[in-house]
Structure formats: C-alpha cells, structure tokens
C-alpha cells in the first residue's frame, strides 16, 4: 500500500510517539529495503567498532542506482525472512543512538529541491503515514524543527545534503552511466573510508588538491572530516570540478 504523504509547513504540528508501548513496535524494521547514505555507514561502523570494509562486507550490498547511475548501499537481505533490519531486536534497535537518517527522522520525510536559476537548494517536509504505524495521535505535539532537534537529525542532514549536491552535479554534467573506475572511486571515497584514508595519505592521492590544511590534518584521524574530503575528491576526480568542490569541502 502506498504511504500517505502530507506536506508539512514549518508551523504545522503533528502528534507522534514510538516505543515498546505502541502496538506496531518494530513493524517498521521489517519488510525493509533500507538504503544507507555515506554518513549512515560512518556512524554505524563506528558504533559497531568495525572497519568500513568489514561493515560493508558483512551488512551491505552495493548496486548501481537506476535513477542516479551512482553506487547505492543497502542492507544485505539474502535469506532473511520478512526482510528485517539486521539490528532490530525484540526490545528495539540495537544501534539506536547511531541509527540511519531515514529511521531517525521517521515519520517525517525531508525532500530537497534545487533552483535552476540560482542553483540554491531548499528543504521541504512531509508527514509519512503508513498503514502499519500506530504511533500517530500519541505523546506530545511536534513541529518539524522540534522533531529534527529531538531526533538528532542535523548532522545527518548536513552530510546528506553534500551527497545530494553530488547527485545534482552528476545529473547536470554526466547524465549517462559512470565508468567502472568512477564507480570504484565513488564507493571508495564515500563508503569505504578506512581504505580511502590509506589511499589519500599513504599513497599521496591528494596531490594537486586545494584543501584546507586543517581539514586534511583532522581527516587523518576523524572520519567526518575524511568524508568531507571524500566529497571533494569525487567532485574533482569524477566530475572535474574544483572551485565548487573546494567550497563544499570546508
């Protein structure tokens, strides 16, 4: 059944609560086709104390997105009955503090639009109502801003917006399929951060890049700084931009 999407203005309020007392608890963690952003993967592999390569190998499958032509990561579901999230348990999410952005913001959906005239982006929100969900009408009322702050969505939005800028750049400058080398570079720089760190620092792959020295120093030990470098790397290596990438990487 198609979910009901109701646009939300900044001043609109909705009443929602999720927890063990709600009859549908854990239902949204099954029949899952869960896509993961680069920042989702960063948070999850850190929470689990795993390298990015091990996390990708154990928990994900990477395919080419039919609309973007870019590598897309999702949870591996081979042989899993009812397609549950690998981290769901009878008492709830085992990685709750670092759960993916789409889980975190639910039942709100966040959509970005880009102006062709100004190239500026703006965010729009909608309330997502699915037939199985019984959380509506419970608990307190929220605005989008209150819900976003309460669920810790802001750092996810900031990184995911960088990904959306990559997708928009790809659509503008390279609408066709990417080469195998370009797909590998994308997967390395944005999903497999530990391997990317080895490449850029031990193999000196950032020669000729104009990056903030402080950001580069942070990236040697900080994955969030390294992911910012990764977005810059993809913009220049795959799409041949520099000034735009340099600004985005700050």
DSSP string, 76-130: --TT-TT---TTEETTEETTGGG--HHHHHTTEEEEEEE-TTT--EEEEEEEEE-
pLDDT 10s digits, 137-165: 999 999 999 999 999 999 999 999 999 99
201 phi and psi angles, rounded to 5 deg:
-100, -40
CB count, 10 Å around CB of 116? 6
pLDDT of residue 245: 40
Which residue in this structure is represented by tokens 């759960």? 99
The rounded radius of gyration (Å) of the Cα atoms in the chain is 19
Confidence of residue 82 (pLDDT cuts 50, 70, 90): confident
Of 5-14, 154-163, 209-218, which range is least confident?
Answer: 209-218
| CB-side neighbour CA atoms (13 Å) of 99 | 20
| CA 249/CA 231 separation, integer angstroms | 7
Taking the whole predicted model, whether its pTM rises above 0.85 is answered as yes
Q: What is the mean pLDDT of residues 8-16?
A: 95
Question: Beta-strand (E) ranges in the chain?
Answer: 4-8, 14-16, 35-36, 60-64, 71-75, 88-89, 92-93, 108-114, 121-129, 136-142
The ranges assigned to domains in the chain are 4-152, 178-248
pLDDT of residue 79: 65
Residue 23 has pLDDT above 60, yes or no: yes
pLDDT of residue 30: 84
pLDDT 10s digits, 34-60: 899 999 999 999 999 999 999 999 999
């Amino acid at each position: 059944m198609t979910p009901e999407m109701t646009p939300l203005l900044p001043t609109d309020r909705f009443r929602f609560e999720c927890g063990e007392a709600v009859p549908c608890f854990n239902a949204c963690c099954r029949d899952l086709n869960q896509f993961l952003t680069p920042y989702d993967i960063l948070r999850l592999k850190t929470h689990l104390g795993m390298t990015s390569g091990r996390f990708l190998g154990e928990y994900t499958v990477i395919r080419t997105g039919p609309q973007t032509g870019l590598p897309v990561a999702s949870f591996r579901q081979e042989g899993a009955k009812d397609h549950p999230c690998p981290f769901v348990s009878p008492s709830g999410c085992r990685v709750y503090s670092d759960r993916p952005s789409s889980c975190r913001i639910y039942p709100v959906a966040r959509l970005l639009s880009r102006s062709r005239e100004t190239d500026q982006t703006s965010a729009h929100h909608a309330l997502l109502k699915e037939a199985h969900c019984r959380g509506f009408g419970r608990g307190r009322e929220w605005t989008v801003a209150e819900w976003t702050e309460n669920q810790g969505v802001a750092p996810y939005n900031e990184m995911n917006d960088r990904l959306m800028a990559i997708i928009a750049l790809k659509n503008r400058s390279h609408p066709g399929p990417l080469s195998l080398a370009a797909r590998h570079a994308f997967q390395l720089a944005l999903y497999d951060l530990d391997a990317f760190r080895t490449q850029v620092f031990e193999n000196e792959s950032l020669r000729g890049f104009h990056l903030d020295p402080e950001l580069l120093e942070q990236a040697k030990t900080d994955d969030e700084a390294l992911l910012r470098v990764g977005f810059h790397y993809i913009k220049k290596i795959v799409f041949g931009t520099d000034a735009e990438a340099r600004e985005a990487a700050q």
